[in-house]
Amino acid sequence: MERQMIVFRILETKNKMKHKFSSLLLGFMCFSGTIVKSQDTTAKILKDTDHEKMVWFKQAKLGIFIHWGLYAVDGISESWSFYNEYLSHEDYLKQLSGFTAANFKPKEWAKLIKDSGAKYSVITSKHHDGFALWNTNYGHLNAVSHAAAKKDVLSPLIDALKEKELKVGIYFSLPDWSSDLYTHFTTSKRRYAIEQDPQRWQQYLNYMNGQLLELKNNYTPDLWWFDGDWEHPPEAWESTKIRTSLLKGAPNTIINSRLTGQGDYQTPEIGVPVYRPEAKYWELCMTLNDSWGYQQTDNNYKTSQQVIDIFVDCISKGGNLLLDIGPKADGSIDPIQKERLLELGSWIRKHHKAVYGTEKGIPYEHFYGPTTLSKDKQTLFLFVRDIPKDGKIVVKGISNTIHRAYVVGNGSILSQNKIAKLYWNKYPGISYIDLPIETIDTYYTVVALVLDGPIELYSELNGAVEQN
């Protein structure tokens, strides 16, 4: 068994090297203008992250992101609409009178999130516009004192999430474009440069850190989801200090990669990684349509199939999906958004064995599609998106004996046969597994292959057949 694990690791290393070579090739092709763009998964994360504290995150696979703020009132782009000067800051703030949260039912939100199959949720406590959802003693813009809601909407949501045993993530924007203490106001207006007025910047840091401490003390989140670090270097944000202060007394809290250099995991955004990111921990954040917050004019919703495509892609590459919803200003959630979450949830429930706690799958050379592996690497899960035209799926280069093949979610045993296997050499042959039409799932049918030990991948080039 030990030996098989080693073989698997060696083969993985070989594959990584192959992948590095293909990345180089890709880079060269980009350079020569052949291929459009490579992905940026390079955001710096800490090298010495405590692996113990990452266990729940690694096993969770799905989180629900919530962008809720003033921008839902007019259905415009969160914060960016005034920053990019599509409307004035003054007009943007007029939305305060429409942010009622009149139909806000935090328990229903938490139930929906739980039913989606997510194990955690990340809520925008404050976006770049500086509007805080909780009763902060800092700043001048929050749901209690300034919006029609006249109440703290963050606390009841966090309570409801905890009640449902969901892990809690707090999104916090480092920039606050509405604060007079902050450097940037809009794309064409800067208030000041840090070098010109370090005292004012220090006042901003005090304000920002004051809010962070409030959030820490009020909610003891499991995860901090920072955003907006691109506006200043880590030294200006004093990101090391922020990390130390947030982890003080709460060492198991996880921090995302956008507290530059101080994060525990990478956060690619929208672009589904084409290749497996190298980072051990990563999470793709993704919208359901093309907007983070609620925008009634944006109907470009991904279908349930597409949402599940993206989810399966992430987990097969060893990552999580942080899928976003944008509730309306009254606190209700658009029926399409609800439907997508519930559909994803029922698919996950049926296939939970192939999802939670699994590891990234095997290279595509062995199977035409995404895969995951059980923790002990003795069960390989194959995700079949389409109906195989001859009713068979094909697996290649697996040296193990397949003890049993069955359909996850209903247990149907599947028959298999092997071709091109010669008894005198090690080439494992090609396995064909029957997948009758009655077993096909609406989105992905998942086939489990129970192996005789940890998976052993074969990648040699066979030589001449020397006897017959």
Residues of this chain that interact with ligand FHN (CB under 6 A) are: 78, 227, 269, 285, 292
Minimum gap (Å) between residue 333 Cβ and ligand FHN = 18
Q: Is 50 helix (H, G, I), strand (E, B) or coil?
A: coil
Choose between 123 and 285: whose C-beta lies nearer to ligand FHN: 285
Minimum gap (Å) between residue 68 Cβ and ligand FHN = 11
Calculate ∠ Cα 321-340-300, nearest 5°.
Answer: 90
Minimum gap (Å) between residue 227 Cβ and ligand FHN = 5
Here the tokens at position 355 are 């999802």
Residue 95 to residue 81: CA distance in whole angstroms:
12
Residue among 104, 74, 109, 107 at smallest CA distance from 91: 74
User: Could you tell me how far CA 59 lies from the centroid of its own chain?
Assistant: 12
Choose between 71 and 381: whose C-beta lies nearer to ligand FHN: 71
Choose between 256 and 378: whose C-beta lies nearer to ligand FHN: 256
Minimum gap (Å) between residue 297 Cβ and ligand FHN = 17
Choose between 269 and 434: whose C-beta lies nearer to ligand FHN: 269
- Give residues with Cβ within 8 angstroms of 427, minimum separation 6: 420, 421, 458, 460, 462
Residue 45 to residue 230: CA distance in whole angstroms:
15
Minimum gap (Å) between residue 59 Cβ and ligand FHN = 22
Q: What is the dihedral of CA 342, 343, 349, 352, to 10 degrees?
A: -120
Choose between 129 and 152: whose C-beta lies nearer to ligand FHN: 129
Choose between 227 and 309: whose C-beta lies nearer to ligand FHN: 227
**Tokens 């921090």, residue?**
255
Minimum gap (Å) between residue 54 Cβ and ligand FHN = 20
Choose between 112 and 285: whose C-beta lies nearer to ligand FHN: 285
Residue among 77, 65, 104 at smallest CA distance from 288: 65
Choose between 136 and 291: whose C-beta lies nearer to ligand FHN: 291
Choose between 92 and 381: whose C-beta lies nearer to ligand FHN: 92
Distances in whole angstroms, Cα of residue 210 to Cα of each of 140, 240, 242, 391: 13, 16, 11, 61
Minimum gap (Å) between residue 270 Cβ and ligand FHN = 8
Residue 79 to residue 255: CA distance in whole angstroms:
23
For 60: left if phi > 0, alpha if psi spans -120 to 50, otherwise beta; the answer is alpha
Minimum gap (Å) between residue 110 Cβ and ligand FHN = 21
Choose between 77 and 439: whose C-beta lies nearer to ligand FHN: 77
Q: Is 437 exposed, middle or buried (0-12, 13-18, 19+ CB in 10 A)?
A: exposed
Minimum gap (Å) between residue 73 Cβ and ligand FHN = 16
Minimum gap (Å) between residue 173 Cβ and ligand FHN = 8
Name the packing angle between helices 198-219 and 239-247 (round to 10°).
Answer: 20
Query: At 432, phi and psi to the nearest 5?
Result: -110, 125
Amino acid identity at 46:
L
Choose between 227 and 264: whose C-beta lies nearer to ligand FHN: 227
Distances in whole angstroms, Cα of residue 308 to Cα of each of 172, 288, 321, 348, 366: 28, 11, 10, 9, 22
Calculate ∠ Cα 424-453-315, nearest 5°.
Answer: 120
Residue 311 to residue 174: CA distance in whole angstroms:
28
Choose between 267 and 379: whose C-beta lies nearer to ligand FHN: 267
Minimum gap (Å) between residue 352 Cβ and ligand FHN = 27
b/e burial code for range 76-89 (CB count within 10 A of at least 16 → b): bbbbbbbbeeeeeb
Minimum gap (Å) between residue 15 Cβ and ligand FHN = 30
